[in-house]
Amino acid sequence: MTASASIDDLLAKLNPQQREAATFGDGPLLIVAGAGTGKTATLVHRVAWLIARGVDPSRILLLTFTRRAAAEMLHRADGLLQQLHHRGTTRVWSGTYHAVASRLLRRHAKAIGLPPEFTVHDRTDSEDLLNVVRTELELAKTDKRFPKKGTCMSIYSRCVNARQKLERVLTESFPWCREWAEELKRLFDAFVDRKEAAGVLDYDDLLLYWDALLADPEVGPEVRKQFDCVLVDEYQDTNALQADILFKLSPDGKGVTAVGDDAQSIYAFRAATVRNILDFPKHYANAAIVTLEQNYRSTQPILEATNQVIAQAKERFTKNLWSQRSDGGRPVLVHAEDEADQAEFVVRHVLEHREAGVDLRRQAVLFRASHHSILLEAELARANIPFQKFGGLKFVETAHVKDLMAYLRLAENPRDVVSGMRILPLLPGIGPGKAQQLMLTLQQSGGDFSCWNQWRPPTGAAELWPKFVALLQGLTRTSEELPAQLHRVRKFYAPLMETKYDHVEPRLRDLEQLELIASRYRNRRQMLLEITLDPPNSTQDLAGDPVLDDDYLVLSTIHSAKGLEWDVVYVIHAADGNIPSDMATKHPQEIEEELRLFYVALTRAKNHLYVCYPLRYYQSRFGDQHSYAQRTRFLPNHLLACFEQQVTDPRQADPDDDESAGPTSSTTSRSIRRKAKDLWNGI
């Protein structure tokens, strides 16, 4: 490493398109970056280039999809800047839209009449509050069923994030709820009032308030002037509201860089719209577009397959990815007998690749829905293969962790009704009714917990009540260190938890873990905020540095695999109904999104790609009731030429099965019966 590299030395490592993008002038600039084309490297160089050119780091805003992505990019940009002996990126504003919104809103809270101590609700908290309102309005008290809280929340969220009228959202996305339009309006009105009264913002509010902040004639210009450059990663997965925010940050597009790949837009269910990236050139009349097409990730045979898969999409920026890596064979399409057979195939090949020198952590199994990996997880455990699962329910979203956090949150913000309604009914003899009364009393006393000392608890809670009130009063004294606070809460809560839930042991460990890592946070508010805005995947993830020599296989939903890559990738359950999901085949555009999702999964692979699907799905664990699976419609016949086809070996009979003692051939009485049943059950 030379002591005095020049910026040109660093840029020399980029290809011409990447370099053009990295060193482009004021913008607006759209970088259309196909999968594996060095998008991150380009963005990293652009940040470094801007700073090296003299842009003040604190006047750069970098918006990414996860905080981890932001941290990694800034780290890499720092590496480049160090070589130039240039100051680093510490003062760059970075993070997700939501995280940046919370920082900006905290700073400008007073100007728009927002209490600076506002707390942030995650999706389930918000649903709970919506449910409180729903019960109060007695909307469920009709002969026809009112949509449940999750559905109501989705409708509300879509209105806000897609900036669409309720009627339109109902017609286009929730046609079965159309008859409830009037009730939903009342519900949402009351819901908004309740959030205001509680001093909370939810995910939707963070964006809504940021947008409003920018629209404000007083504060808006101030916030806008704060940034010279705004870079947005994964632009294909932003929604209309986020596009509005970007537009308000820089109406003429000066300093704006958007990076994305329309072919990888997979968050429409969260109101993201591929229109943001497709219409970027229309939105900013003078926009320049740089397209990155050279793929550095995958072998040419894999790319040929993925190119053909995405060629089935209707509207997109046409890219034809190519690679210089002509090594390697075609991807493999694996026909497995059933789910167990599929799991067995994956286990065997994972081990084979490890034998061949590919660490577990350089291999990944990808699937559409979190529960698709359950059987595989059992097989992996049996084969002693360590794995880490990404996506699905995160550990901070589990009931016991949410309970624990609710104590802290209520102390932080006594107006937070959801937290109160969560922890009060944990006490024996206190249900929703009394909890609501108590929260009302608390509001009237201005959030002073001592008002609860006057209350006469029911006999069941007589002993615990004074301790409970004392606990919350203690937590209000901010002098206490955070780990100590968590310790007090845990001591009080753990016994309650044990009576309330099963699987007590692992839950207790989670609570201990949480206490251990509490010292990493600056303060209580910071901990609550970070945990809701960037929920860690596991306690281990929370703890920060996983042990280096820890080798584990990656299991991940396709959504959580975004932006990542592995040497060996197994896509499992590539059967119609799973990919595309049965739940997303109503609308043609939903199917398009599922196609892109499949494309994202395939393009994660560097050297080896296996696409597996089981021929049969059993309805229950016992008996032979099963249905037939169809290969995913995204691999029609004309595409099969890109794949090598493989049928798994007949699975060896499970030693627990009584058949194993008898016949040794692969034909067993059971398999014959199965086949016979196909005659009338099959399609």
Q: Of 552-571, which residues contact DNA (CB under 7 A)?
A: 557, 559-560
Which is closer to DNA, CB of 374 or CB of 672? 374
b/e burial code for range 541-553 (CB count within 10 A of at least 16 → b)? ebeeeeeeeeebb
Q: List 229's β-bridge partners, or say none.
A: 60
Site for DNA in 495-524 (CB under 7 A): none
Q: Which is nearer to DNA, 66 or 226 (CB)?
A: 66
What is the three-class DSSP state of 110? Answer: helix
Site for DNA in 144-183 (CB under 7 A): 145-146, 148-151, 157
Q: How many CB atoms lie within 10 A of CB 593?
A: 22
Q: Judged by CB under 7 A, which stretch of 77-85, 184-192, 328-336, 387-395 contacts DNA?
A: 387-395
Smaller CB separation from DNA, 65 or 345: 65
Nearest approach, Cβ of 267 to DNA (angstroms)? 7
H/E run at residue 291? strand 288-292
Q: Is 400 in the site for DNA (CB under 7 A)?
A: no
| Complex with DNA: residue 370 or 540, whichever CB lies closer | 370
What distance lies between CA 176 and its chain's CA centroid? 27
Least distance to DNA from the beta carbon of 604, Å? Answer: 14
CB 276 within 8 A of CB 236: yes
The window from 15-23, 218-226, 423-431, 446-454 that contacts DNA (CB under 7 A) reads: 423-431
365: left (phi over 0), alpha (psi -120 to 50) or beta: beta
**CB 65, min distance to DNA, A:** 7
Q: Which amino acid is at 252?
A: D
Q: Is the dihedral of CA 307, 311, 313, 318 positive or negative?
A: positive
Give the shortest CB-356-to-DNA separation in angstroms.
30
Stretch that binds DNA, among 299-307, 579-587, 627-635, 660-668 (CB under 7 A): 579-587
Contacts of 456 (CB under 8 A, 6+ apart): none
Comparing CB distances to DNA, the nearer of 21 and 417 is 417
CB atoms within 10 A of CB 371: 10
| Least separation in angstroms between CB 253 and DNA | 24
The C-alpha angle with vertex 635 and arms to 577 and 625, in degrees rounded to 5, equals: 35
Closest CA to 473 of 464, 485, 462: 485
Site membership for DNA, residue 141 (CB under 7 A): yes
Of 64 and 648, CB closest to DNA:
64
Cβ at position 401, least distance to DNA in Å: 14
Q: Round to whole Å and give the CA distance between 414 and 625.
A: 54
State how far the alpha carbon of 96 is from the alpha carbons of 246, 263, 328, 427, 621, in Å: 13, 21, 37, 37, 43
Dihedral sign, Cα of residue 468, residue 474, residue 478, residue 483: negative
Tokens of 304: 């040929």
Question: Which of the ranges 177-185, 287-295, 318-326, 432-440 carries the binding residues for DNA, by CB under 7 A?
Answer: 432-440
* Residue showing tokens 């996860």: 66
Q: Closer CB to DNA, residue 113 or residue 433? A: 433
- In 3D, which of 186, 189, 194, 193 has the Cα closest to residue 129? 194
Shortest distance, CB of residue 396 to DNA, whole angstroms? 10
Dig out the tokens for 335 from the structure: 């026909």
Give the tokens for residue 244. Answer: 């509005």
Binders in 606-625 for DNA, by CB under 7 A: 620
CB-nearer residue toward DNA: 266 or 290? 266
E-strand stretches of 47-133: 60-63, 93-95, 119-121
Q: Which is nearer to DNA, 147 or 331 (CB)?
A: 147
Pick out residues in 299-328 that bind DNA (CB under 7 A). Answer: none
Query: Least distance in Å: CB of 364 to DNA?
Result: 14
Contact 279, 315 (CB under 8 A): no
Residue number, 123 or 361, with CB nearest to DNA: 123
3-state secondary structure of 62: strand
- Shortest Å distance, C-beta 587 to DNA: 10
Q: Which residue number, 72 or 122, has a Cβ lying nearer to DNA?
A: 122
Q: What is the DSSP string of 123-175?
A: HHHHHHHHHHHHHHTTTT-SSSPPPPHHHHHHHHHHHHHHT--HHHHHHHH-G
Residue 41 or 601: the one with the smaller Cβ distance to DNA is 601
Residue 474 near residue 488 (C-beta atoms within 8 A): yes
Of 342 and 607, the one with the shorter C-beta distance to DNA is: 342
Question: In the range 233-272, which residues lie near DNA by CB under 7 A?
Answer: 266, 269-270
Of residues 482 and 571, the one with the C-beta less far from DNA: 571
| Residue 392 binds to DNA (criterion: CB under 7 A) | yes
**Residue among 412, 491, 510 nearest 420 (CA):** 412
Task: Determine, following the binding rule CB under 7 A, whether residue 542 of this chain makes contact with DNA.
Answer: no
Residue 176 or 680: which CB sits closer to DNA?
A: 176
Residue 22 structure tokens: 């990295």
Q: Which stretch binds DNA (CB under 7 A): 77-85, 481-489, 532-540, 546-554?
A: 532-540
- For residues 311 and 374, which CB has a smaller minimum distance to DNA in the complex? 374
Nearest approach, Cβ of residue 98 and DNA (Å): 4
Site string for DNA, 460-479 (x = CB under 7 A): x-------------------
Per-residue three-class SS string for 470-523: HHHHHHHCCCCCHHHHHHHHHHHHHHHHHHHCCCHHHHHHHHHHHHHHHHHCCC
Only one of the segments 78-86, 286-294, 362-370, 483-491 lies at the binding site for DNA (rule: CB under 7 A); that segment is: 362-370
Q: How far is the CB of 9 from DNA (least distance, A)?
A: 36
Cα gap 133→154, rounded to integer Å: 16
Tokens 């490890």, residue located: 354
Which residue from 110, 371, 587, 675 is in contact with DNA, where contact means CB under 7 A?
A: 371
Binding of DNA by 534 (CB under 7 A): yes
DSSP assignment letter at 628: E
Regarding 140 and contact with DNA (CB under 7 A), the answer is: yes
Interface pattern 44-73 for DNA (x via CB under 7 A): ---------------------xx-------
| Interface pick for DNA out of 79, 281, 429, 483 (rule CB under 7 A) | 429
Count of other CB atoms within 10 angstroms of residue 453: 11
Residues touching DNA: how many (CB under 7 A)? 50
3-state DSSP percent of the chain in helix, strand and coil, to 5: 55, 15, 35
Q: Which of residues 620-679 bind DNA (CB under 7 A)?
A: 620
Torsion sign across C-alpha atoms 79, 80, 84, 90: negative
Q: Residues 199, 301, 391, 420: which binds DNA (CB under 7 A)? A: 391
Helix H or strand E encompassing 608: strand 605-618
Query: With CB under 7 A as the contact rule, which of the stretches 97-105, 223-231, 482-490, 604-612 interacts with DNA?
Result: 97-105
Q: Assess 374 for contact with DNA (CB under 7 A).
A: no
Query: What character string, x for contact with DNA (CB under 7 A) and - otherwise, covers 107-126?
Result: ---------------xx---
Give contact residues for DNA (rule: CB under 7 A). 65-66, 96-99, 122-123, 140-141, 145-146, 148-151, 157, 203, 266, 269-270, 368-371, 390-392, 394, 425, 428-435, 458, 460, 533-535, 557, 559-560, 581, 583-584, 620
